[in-house]
Structure 1
Amino acid sequence: MAYSAIADSVGRQPITVVEIDLDYCAESYGVSPCTASAATGGECYNTRRSCQDLANWNGSTQTYRFIDQSSAVPPGVDALPCITGKITRTPMKIEPGKGLGLRGSVKVKLRDFTIHDRAADPYHATRTAEAQGTYFGRLIARNPFYVGRTLRLRTGYIASPWDWANFVTRTYVIEDISGPGSDGMVTITGKTVLKALDDDRVRIPSPSNGELSASLNTTATTFTLTPSGIGSEYDSSGAVRIGGEIITYTTLTGDVISGATRAQWGSEVKDHDAADQVQQCKVYSSVNVVNIAYGILVTDGPLSASQVPFNDNPGSPDEWDDEKANWLSTYNLTAIISEPTGANKLLAELSEQCGFNLWEDEVNNLVKLKANVPDLANAAVTDLNEDAHIIEKSIKLQDNQKSRISRVLFYYDKIDHTSGDDIENFRALYVAIDANSETDDEYGSERARIIKSRWMDSTNSAEAVATSGRLINRFAVPQKIARFRVDAKDALEPGQLVNLLCKFLQDTSGASVSKQFQVTQISERDTGHSFEIDALGSAYAGLYRFVGPDTLNDYDVESDANKQSYAFIALDTGLMSDGASAYQIV
């Protein structure tokens, strides 16, 4: 029986299983190619720390599985009942309009215990004495290299026969294992996959180790790197930064850079001394923002291609391909990153300036990308109401005044890419203002979002306008925050659009109305039974639609379905012929 089916059943019995994958050697001790040859009883434990022949280490993984100490171990399931207390899970949170959201995490507390070593030691039979100490004490001593390894949190239901299809699995990377201590407790902390992109872990470009072998005057176009052989770390052509000067070059031969053009990307030509660092730059030349984000995550980052649903192929589109084609196809950026910069910082800049959100899908182990745009007529929206879906007395509504934006100041076309973000260092500024919302008749104050972009140059004025306009159209009016609970059978996903109908959402006459929200955070309130949902109003000012094909009829005689799918030209009055509001073109 699938998870969704058993979640809708009476008498369901929830259970939580925690799994960690640690490094394990696939070879057998002393058997070719392993050349280790200790005396009987002195074998390794097939872990990296205990390996006696690292040259022939053959890395794989071994899974260790734990369940609650009060749970009976299900038949056929290899798990240790040592989880104590509630598992603390901080769910990830989407922050529309702000770029990267908050990352999720999990903390699992387990009780250490004494146990034989027969299951954990592949050579137990040849040991001359029984293992000492405790289970987790031995496990950590044998596996100190646990950071970044996989942790899975499986929540589901007991069924006979046992079936992993009854579980929802959330994937994390291990950040820390603390303990055991005098209290006998061990705590495992896991973070979602974007933790691997923290600014202290992935920097773009990578720090360069080369230096000038001799001083460089302001007219030189050839120079040599030191130490000998360091040229292998540099691109065959590209750009480097020395001090406050960016230099492009056409040729790298061994350690010699030639064909140099000085003082590029707005920098100033300068003299440089021997032993000055020569930093390789990362250059993007009219590259689409979706491709840049993919490159940061996968090409330059630690994620695998399977974690990012992007084929870069219109003939075989995945989720990211659709967002690129529908909303971000014109965001082609030319920029230079002239010093090592944290991957998360770059992603945060791109997502804010180009108008999309990135977040982690813990269940499917994917990174999601969604443009901050109005929904289309065919967008998938889930209807929720108090009678059938929302748990009684769980709804809370609040106007999110902090989300209001009345104007956007978008600075772009940076002058000197070695200098900071002072407004004097930008050639262009686009200002979008919702003047009405700033008047005393409405909100009576200015709320400005200031964006300073190193990514957009003079060719991206349309994109600066689009990003600014979308922010104003969504956030000129404070969006409502909704918090409510649903049963496991009605579980939602982060980023999902919902139409919420409840007696607390009313029009000016007091009648209940349905309003659209975007799910931003999901917390498991009662494991296996209910979830608490945070959602942010996602309504845009106006009806947005794509320009339709030439085969459409005039608005007056066109079908209602096509009126909902495509944009039509309004009258000079700003209204449609039937009095409806004019369309906004995407």
Structure 2
Amino acid sequence: MSAAELGRQPLTVVECDLRQVIGGSEQPITYRFSSADVIPPLGLDARPVITGISSLPTKLDIGESLGMRAAITIRCRDFLNDNDVAGGPAAPEATFFRLLKARVPYVANRALRIISGYLDGGSFQPERTLHYLLTKIDGPDRQGQVTLHCTDALVKADNRKAQAPNVGTGTLLAGLAAGDTTATISPAEAADDYHANGWLRFGDAKEICSFTRAGSTLTLDRAQRGTAAEDHPAGDTIQEILIIEEATLAQVAQLLLIDYADLDPSLVDAAAWALEDATWLGAFRVSATIWDPTGVAKLLQELTQQFPFFIVYDARVPRLDFQAIKPGAFALAAKLGERSELLRDSVSITEDPEKRISQIWFYFGMKDPGEKADDPRNYARLVPFIDRQAEIDHGEARIRKVYSRWLPADRSAVVLSIGERMLSRLRDGRRTIGFDLDAKDGAIWVGDTVEITTKHLIDTDGNPLTTQAQIIEAAEAQPGTSNRYQAEDLRLNSRYCLYTDDALPVYQQATISQRGRYGFYADDADRLDGGADPAYSYL
């Protein structure tokens, strides 16, 4: 039944958390707007001015980057201000949004919530809240139209907005001889831009020093990490270096996002990140020396390209999820079929052969972090991965060069695992499956793993194949009725299993879920049903 048939009227409310100077001090204040075609009920302090909302949803780019950020536009109509803008009376001809922009000139990165729900029995019943960041307010134009623009929190990791390490804002007050162990930051007010301890360098010299800071005074341990002490003249820039040693992927991602991109720490469930890392990514430990300020998005892109994980923003919570790429049986994948979940005539398949790779040249063991990160001569090791059969099948070679600052020269075994997995996933390009689901299945969202069975993907006998795929995009198709999804085929061509414990039943008594997750030894006749004599055991 539709909302109208149920006597419910759809209503959207937008809340903006701004900061405004009132009575000489800056104070938080929330402004609410609602659908222009619905009179807000009593008790809902909202201005009915929203004429439309459009969005480009968050899109994952698995194995490549942080993906595409959500872009939402909220269209409103302006109206004469009637003491609606806090801060006291204004000229009678002043409109609401003109006065709001005058009194609240800084709106970027303020919290914005889009709340969808229904009017039911004279009260607003919210059903879904999406959390974003306001980026700007355009207008009013000559027709009195205003547009609010917002995006998701990961935009703060953009290379133009966040760099690691922080740029050096101070210089040496006096020259530093090779034997000196103290230095002074100039100007003194720049001192607060530096950490209390860490690593640094001076000017364009290659010497690395560890330091502790008290005010503008630095206490130095000179000539660290295999470098030699040098003389440094007054005025040389004092530049911090970010050194990461034997860290987990979750630790590095959290460091970059919170300490350098300044994301709200409440978006990260540190315990959940650590558990996901320990469970699925425990074999990976990374080390790197970041010599110059480098975009946080670029550093995270390197990590998500080279290691099997991704980070996604869930606007419904809000929360940043850290997830390993893993088979559907271990990701609690929802099973989607055309006779049940997939809506009729909604499935589409898109192939992207331009993303096909037949060779990966994996460089690792960086020699000098002060030199170019994409120079093959700056790496001690190269392991090439070549799929000759793929080149025969597709009639050409496709080469990708990977430069890993994150893996020392003694990590060949790890590189073998990474390169083989990467090549397997990309040998035939990328495949995307589009489909619609009923709103009742709305718990499925970006980042989730699903198992899709459809007549559009079949084996050589014409039977539908079950494909493990990752949701890379999700959005409402028909508000309150259905959602539209894009999912990328994970190309998991191998079968995976967990070792079992003694509490599990034998194969013929195990559930379908247990058989999909755990391994069982077959008997000498390659039977798993046990026959008359169930001579097999668990892996």
| Gap change, CA 1:101 and 1:130, over 3 Å in 2 | closer
Q: Which residue of 1 aligns with 2:82?
A: 116
After superposition, residues 45-60 of structure 1 pair within 5 angstroms as: 47-48=20-21, 51-52=23-24, 54=25, 57=26, 59=27
SS of the equivalent of 1:543 reads coil
8 Å Cα contact 1:556-1:577 kept in structure 2: no
| Gap change, CA 1:386 and 1:550, over 3 Å in 2 | closer
1:260 is displaced (CA, Å) by: 0.5
Letter in 1 for 2:450: V
- CA distance in 2 between counterparts of 1:495 and 1:228 reads 47
Q: Which residue of 2 aligns with 1:502?
A: 454
- CA distance in 2 between counterparts of 1:107 and 1:210 reads 41
| Gap change, CA 1:378 and 1:347, over 3 Å in 2 | closer
8 Å Cα contact 2:11-2:117 kept in structure 1: yes
After superposition, residues 371-382 of structure 1 pair within 5 angstroms as: 371-375=324-328, 377-382=329-334
8 Å Cα contact 1:68-1:81 kept in structure 2: yes
8 Å Cα contact 1:483-1:532 kept in structure 2: yes
1:509 is displaced (CA, Å) by: 1.8
After superposition, residues 477-488 of structure 1 pair within 5 angstroms as: 477-488=428-439
1:228 is displaced (CA, Å) by: 6.1
Matching of residue 206 in structure 1 with residue 166 in structure 2: yes
The one of 225, 230, 247 equivalent to 1:287 is 247
Give unpaired runs (5+ residues) of structure 2: 529-539
Matching of residue 462 in structure 1 with residue 423 in structure 2: no
8 Å Cα contact 1:19-1:65 kept in structure 2: yes
CA deviation string 1:466-511 (max 9, x = no partner): 2222222323234431112223223230112222233222221222
More strand by share: 2
1:7 is displaced (CA, Å) by: 8.1
SS of the equivalent of 1:82 reads strand
SS of the equivalent of 1:472 reads helix
CA deviation string 1:14-49 (max 9, x = no partner): 3322221111xxxxxxxxxxxxxxxxxxxxxxx32x
- CA distance in 2 between counterparts of 1:512 and 1:7 reads 36
Matching of residue 450 in structure 1 with residue 401 in structure 2: yes
The one of 148, 165, 184 equivalent to 1:188 is 148
- CA distance in 1 between counterparts of 2:301 and 2:498 reads 28
| Gap change, CA 1:352 and 1:8, over 3 Å in 2 | farther
8 Å Cα contact 2:434-2:487 kept in structure 1: yes
CA deviation string 1:155-213 (max 9, x = no partner): 2333235354x421111111111111322111110010011222232222222222223
1:562 is displaced (CA, Å) by: 6.2
Letter in 2 for 1:480: R
| Gap change, CA 1:411 and 1:466, over 3 Å in 2 | same
Matching of residue 67 in structure 1 with residue 34 in structure 2: yes
Matching of residue 307 in structure 1 with residue 267 in structure 2: yes
Letter in 2 for 1:101: G
The one of 463, 466, 469 equivalent to 1:517 is 469
The one of 53, 64, 72 equivalent to 1:106 is 72
Q: Which residue of 2 aligns with 1:438?
A: 391
- CA distance in 1 between counterparts of 2:381 and 2:7 reads 63
Matching of residue 20 in structure 1 with residue 16 in structure 2: yes
The one of 342, 347, 372 equivalent to 2:295 is 342
Letter in 2 for 1:496: D
8 Å Cα contact 2:360-2:384 kept in structure 1: yes
Give unpaired runs (5+ residues) of structure 1: 24-46, 312-317, 580-586
Letter in 2 for 1:109: R
- CA distance in 1 between counterparts of 2:217 and 2:402 reads 40
1:378 is displaced (CA, Å) by: 4.3
Give the TM-score taking structure 1 as reference length: 0.80
Q: Which residue of 1 aligns with 2:479?
A: 527
The one of 197, 214, 222 equivalent to 2:157 is 197
Q: Which residue of 2 aligns with 1:245?
A: 206
SS of the equivalent of 1:259 reads strand
Matching of residue 92 in structure 1 with residue 43 in structure 2: no
Letter in 1 for 2:257: L
- CA distance in 2 between counterparts of 1:280 and 1:145 reads 31
1:294 is displaced (CA, Å) by: 1.0
- CA distance in 2 between counterparts of 1:486 and 1:555 reads 34
1:132 is displaced (CA, Å) by: 3.5
Q: Which residue of 2 aligns with 1:409?
A: 361
Q: Which residue of 2 aligns with 1:77?
A: 44
Letter in 1 for 2:468: Q
| Gap change, CA 1:445 and 1:268, over 3 Å in 2 | farther
Letter in 2 for 1:424: R
Letter in 2 for 1:159: D
Letter in 1 for 2:432: I
Q: Identity of counterpart residues, as a percentage?
A: 28
SS of the equivalent of 2:411 reads helix
CA deviation string 1:387-415 (max 9, x = no partner): 33333322211223233332322211111
Of stretches 234-243 and 429-438 in structure 1, the one that deviates more from structure 2 is 234-243
Aligned residues: 525
1:436 is displaced (CA, Å) by: 1.8
8 Å Cα contact 2:170-2:187 kept in structure 1: no
Q: Which residue of 2 aligns with 1:143?
A: 104
Letter in 1 for 2:221: G
- CA distance in 2 between counterparts of 1:277 and 1:569 reads 64
- CA distance in 2 between counterparts of 1:361 and 1:163 reads 24
8 Å Cα contact 2:455-2:464 kept in structure 1: yes
Q: Which residue of 2 aligns with 1:328?
A: 281
- CA distance in 1 between counterparts of 2:327 and 2:364 reads 25
8 Å Cα contact 1:297-1:303 kept in structure 2: yes
CA deviation string 1:103-148 (max 9, x = no partner): 111011111111421x444756xxxx86441011111111112111
1:92 is displaced (CA, Å) by: 0.5
Q: Which residue of 2 aligns with 1:400?
A: 352
Cα RMSD (Å) of the superposition? 3.4
Matching of residue 367 in structure 1 with residue 334 in structure 2: no
- CA distance in 2 between counterparts of 1:542 and 1:178 reads 51
8 Å Cα contact 1:103-1:360 kept in structure 2: no
- CA distance in 1 between counterparts of 2:327 and 2:433 reads 19
| Gap change, CA 1:380 and 1:160, over 3 Å in 2 | farther
Q: Which residue of 1 aligns with 2:531?
A: none
SS of the equivalent of 1:97 reads coil
| Gap change, CA 1:514 and 1:251, over 3 Å in 2 | closer
SS of the equivalent of 1:144 reads coil
| Gap change, CA 1:182 and 1:494, over 3 Å in 2 | same
Q: Which residue of 1 aligns with 2:536?
A: none
- CA distance in 1 between counterparts of 2:198 and 2:29 reads 43
Q: Which residue of 2 aligns with 1:315?
A: none
8 Å Cα contact 1:222-1:259 kept in structure 2: yes
1:9 is displaced (CA, Å) by: 8.7
Letter in 2 for 1:460: R
CA deviation string 1:356-392 (max 9, x = no partner): 11121111111112222333x3431212233333333
| Gap change, CA 1:355 and 1:561, over 3 Å in 2 | closer
1:154 is displaced (CA, Å) by: 1.8
8 Å Cα contact 1:7-1:488 kept in structure 2: no
The one of 258, 268, 273 equivalent to 2:220 is 258
Give the TM-score taking structure 2 as reference length: 0.87
